[in-house]
């Protein structure tokens, strides 16, 4: 069983427990569910946008502890202030050291959109994502069927969430792409072996719809790489680890953008 399979098995157990603890009706009654979202699409398409989605991530299965002392509210607010188009917050606990409370705690301090980064395998989590105060929800093609992508995307749109569909290869694109997703992300990291190269985005760009808003995720460590990806049609860039490995991730983002 690879890492991704283990994560999905654990997620099934967690979601089953969460459904018992909190009903969908209770999720709908939260302040987070009632708030009006901020459009990630509009931020990425803005003329003055750098297109960076800065990530708050404490650890990963492949790299272990990345930064377990940073404060989620302080770092994500710093990201927004430094010029991030959006922030990404990991809410998976067992494998990435995040919590749903991280997103709930950070949200009131932010004036930019928030991506909930987790492993969505059940429509319950769509309602949950909205209740946490997120603006954008991640769907990972590697763990979903086309029918699930369609179902979760349509539901997300009904309740005011935008959707990022993440693919890793051409097979996943052909299998799961749904033209109504708001953003299509190409993950440069192989989730089975956890190896990374931005060449993956460059290669896949040749077959992706030109009109689709696209972002490149993982392994981007320089402005030069970002500019190269822009020439291949990418409007956004999810960057986290290179910032989070420093004492002041927001200052590192500011330094990155000033180059």
Catalytic residues: 55, 57, 117, 166, 187, 217-218
Cβ–Cβ < 8 Å for 125, 118: yes
Report the candidate in 208, 14, 239 with the shortest Cα–Cα distance to residue 120.
14
Cβ–Cβ < 8 Å for 228, 222: no
Measure the CA–CA gap between 119 and 203, rounded to whole angstroms. 25
Q: Which residues contact 47 (CB under 8 A, 6 or more apart)?
A: none
Going by the DSSP 8-state scheme, the letter that residue 36 receives in this structure is P
Report the candidate in 138, 123, 129, 206 with the shortest Cα–Cα distance to residue 169.
206
């Amino acid at each position: 069983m690879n890492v991704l399979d283990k994560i999905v098995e654990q997620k099934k157990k967690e979601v089953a427990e969460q459904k018992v603890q909190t009903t969908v009706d209770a999720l709908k009654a939260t302040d987070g569910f009632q708030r009006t979202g901020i459009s990630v699409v509009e931020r990425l398409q803005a003329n003055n946008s750098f297109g960076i989605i800065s990530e708050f991530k404490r650890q990963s299965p492949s790299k272990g502890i990345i930064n377990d002392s940073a404060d989620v509210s302080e770092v994500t607010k710093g990201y927004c202030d430094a010029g991030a188009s959006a922030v990404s917050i990991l809410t998976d606990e067992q494998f990435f050291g995040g919590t749903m409370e991280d997103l709930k705690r950070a949200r009131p301090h932010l004036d930019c959109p928030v991506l909930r980064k987790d492993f969505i395998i059940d429509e319950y989590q769509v309602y949950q994502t909205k209740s946490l105060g997120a603006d954008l929800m991640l769907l990972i093609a590697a763990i979903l069927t086309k029918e699930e992508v369609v179902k979760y995307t349509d539901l997300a749109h009904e309740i005011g969430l935008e959707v990022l569909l993440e693919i890793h290869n051409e097979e996943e694109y052909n299998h799961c792409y749904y033209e109504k997703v708001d953003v299509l992300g190409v993950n440069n990291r192989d989730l089975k072996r956890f190896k990374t190269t931005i060449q993956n985005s460059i290669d896949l760009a040749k077959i992706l719809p030109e009109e689709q808003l696209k972002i490149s995720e993982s392994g981007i460590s320089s402005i030069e790489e970002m500019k190269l990806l822009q020439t291949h049609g990418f409007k956004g860039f999810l960057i986290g680890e290179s910032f989070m490995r420093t004492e002041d991730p927001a200052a590192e983002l500011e330094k990155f953008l000033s180059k």
